[in-house]
Amino acid sequence: MSARAVVLIGPMGAGKTSIGKRVARALGETFYDSDAAVVREHGPIDAIFRDHGEDRFREWERVAVRDGIDRGGIVALGGGAVLHPDTQADLAAHHVILLTVGPQTIESRIRGTKRPLLQGEDAVARWSALYAARRPLYEQLADVTFDTSSGPLQEVVDALVQWIRTAPTPAPADVPTEPGDPS
């Protein structure tokens, strides 16, 4: 693998962190989690939302995303990180894997969550609304999609590792092609 990143995107609870760690280990790569980086630097995400608001969290998240992508390896992004236009542009030069999960599975994964955007009476309904709103963007940015709703986690990890090993290297985003160039 090159210094380029393999970036995992998708909704909250899709398994980006747990799968990402295993994929990194299997490939002998580093693992970076943008949410964990924000927490290390600024404290718990629920406290950031409470004390500073979502806008400040998104600013800090953007810095963490850029740092992770610059490092390369396997990078897991928070569910809303792809909303930033600069992040969307950055992803063009990297492999982007969308991890999905169905609403029938998500309930057990988010039960008792402290995730600020899922607070309230019906976390699954909030999750479903966020996922529905973000799904077109996730699909637009992704090179490939893997569902994590069922089956052993290791099967998803093995499939991702196989895809990463055989996927063509993405073209650099900042190198314009010549007119008439078939690439």
Residue 91 pLDDT > 50, yes or no? yes
pLDDT bucket at 181, cuts 50 / 70 / 90: very low
- Which of these ranges, 3-17, 65-79, 85-99, 119-133, has the smallest mean pLDDT? 119-133
* pLDDT value of residue 110: 61
Task: Name the band, by pLDDT with cuts 50, 70 and 90, for residue 167.
Answer: confident
**What is the structure's pLDDT at 183?**
41
pLDDT band at 182; cut points 50, 70, 90: very low
Mean pLDDT of 64-78: 95
What's residue 1's pLDDT?
39
pLDDT of residue 138: 94
Who contacts 46 (Cβ-Cβ below 8 Å, separation ≥6)? 114, 115, 116
Has residue 112 got a pLDDT over 60? no
Q: Give the number of other Cβ atoms within 10 Å of residue 126's Cβ.
A: 17
Q: So what's the pLDDT on residue 83?
A: 92
Helix (H), strand (E) counts: the chain: 8, 5
> CA 183, CA 127: separation in Å to the nearest integer?
38
CA distance 19 to 9: 11
Domain 5-166 sits in CATH at 3.40.50.300
Provide the β-strand partners of residue 74.
6, 31
What's the chain's average pLDDT? 85
- On the question of pLDDT at 33 being above 70, the answer is yes
pLDDT at 168: 81
- Counting residues of the chain whose pLDDT is more than 90, the rounded percentage is 58
* pLDDT given at position 89: 94
Q: What is the pLDDT of residue 171?
A: 63
- Provide, rounded to the nearest whole percent, the portion of the chain with pLDDT above 70: 81
Instruction: Give the pTM.
Output: 0.83
